[in-house]
Structure 1
Amino acid sequence: MNIVITGGTGMVGSKLTNHLLHKGHHVYILTRNASNKQNTRQLTYVKWLGHNSSPEKYLPTVDAVINLAGASISQRWTPSYKALIRDSRIEATREVIRIINSLPSKPEVLINASAIGYYGTSKTNTFTEESKPIKADFLHRVCKEWENEAAAAKSEGVRVVYARFGLILANKEGALSKMVLPYYLFIGGPLGTGDQWYSWVHVTDVINMIAFAVEHQHVCGPINVTAPSPERMHSFGKQLANTLQKPHWLPTPAFAVRAALGEMSTLILDGQKVLPEKPLQSGYTFSYPSLHTALDNLFDK
Structure 2
Amino acid sequence: MRIAITGGTGFVGTHLTRQLASEGHDLYILTRSPDKHPNTERVTYVGWLKEGMKPEKNLPELDAIVNLAGENLNSSRWTEETKKSIMNSRIEATESVLDLIKNMEQTTKVLVNASAVGFYGTSETETFTENTTTPGNDFLAKVTTEWEERAQKAELFGVRTVYLRFGVILGEEGALPKMAIPYKMYAGGPVGNGEQWMSWIHIRDIIGLIEFSIKNDKATGPINATAPNPKRNKELGKSIAKVLNKPHWLPAPSPALKLALGEMSTLLLQGQYVYPQKALELGYQFEYPELEPALKDILL
Superposition TM-score, scaled by structure 1 size: 0.98
Tell me what 1:113 maps to.
114
Deviations along 1:97-120, one digit per CA (max 9) or x if unpaired, are 000000111111000000000000
Residue type matched to 1:228 in 2? P
2:49 matches 1:85: no
**Alignment partner, residue 233 of structure 1:** 233
User: 2:134, 2:154 → 1: CA distance?
Assistant: 23
Q: Within 2, Cα distance between the matches of 1:230 and 1:8? A: 27
Equivalent position of 1:165 in the other structure:
166
Q: Which residue in the other structure is 2:209 paired with?
A: 209
Question: Aligned letter for 1:231?
Answer: K
Answer whether contact 1:120 1:133 (CA < 8 A) is retained.
no
Gaps of 5+ in 2: none
2:200 paired residue number: 200
Which residue in 1 is equivalent to 2:251? Answer: 251
Deviations 1:51-91 (A, max 9, x none): 21000000000000000000000131111000000000000
Residue in structure 2 matched with residue 289 of structure 1 by the alignment: 289
Quote how far apart the aligned CAs of 1:36 are: 2.0
Provide runs of 4+ in structure 1 moved above 6 Å: none
Amino acid at match of 1:126: T
Check conservation: 1:8, 1:68, Cα contact below 8 A: yes
C-alpha distance in 2 between matches for 1:233 and 1:41? 43
Query: How far apart are the structure 2 equivalents of 1:112 and 1:50?
Result: 21
User: Matches of residues 128-207 of structure 1 in structure 2 within 5 Å?
Assistant: 128-133=129-134, 135-171=136-172, 173-207=173-207
The CA deviation string for residues 174-211 of structure 1, in whole angstroms up to 9 with x for no partner, is 11111011111111000111000000000000001100
The match for 2:95 is: 94
The gaps in structure 1 that reach 5 residues or longer are none
Matched-pair contact (CA < 8 Å) for 1:2–1:62: yes
Would the alpha carbon gap of residues 231 and 36 (structure 1) be closer, same or farther in structure 2, given more than 3 Å must change?
same
Residue 39 of structure 1 aligns with an amino acid whose one-letter code is N
- Contact 2:71-2:85 within 8 A present in 1 as well: yes
- Do 2:135 and 2:145's aligned partners in 1 also have CA atoms closer than 8 Å? no
The 3-state SS of whatever aligns with 1:44 is strand
The alignment covers a number of residue pairs equal to: 299
- Contact residue 239 and residue 292 of structure 1 kept, 8 A: yes
Superposed CA offset, 1:236-264 (max 9, x none): 10001100111000111111111111111
Residue identity in the other structure for 1:246: K
Change in Cα spacing, 1:281 to 1:58, as seen in structure 2 (3 Å) is same
2:18 counterpart residue number: 18
Which residue in 2 is equivalent to 1:43? 43
- After TM superposition, give the deviation of residue 132 of structure 1 in Å: 2.9
Change (3 A) 1:216 1:134: closer
CA positional deviation for 1:134: 5.4
Are residues 125 and 134 of structure 1, via their aligned partners in 2, closer, same or farther at CA, if it must alter by over 3 Å?
A: farther
Residues 19-34 of structure 1 mapped to structure 2, 5 A cutoff = 19-34=19-34
Counterpart Cα distance in 2 of 1:186 and 1:296: 18
Question: Which SS does the other structure have where 1:174 is aligned?
Answer: coil
Mapped to 2, the partners of 1:258 and 1:186 lie a distance apart of 23
Task: State the match for 1:71 in structure 2.
Answer: 71
Which letter maps to 1:107? Answer: T
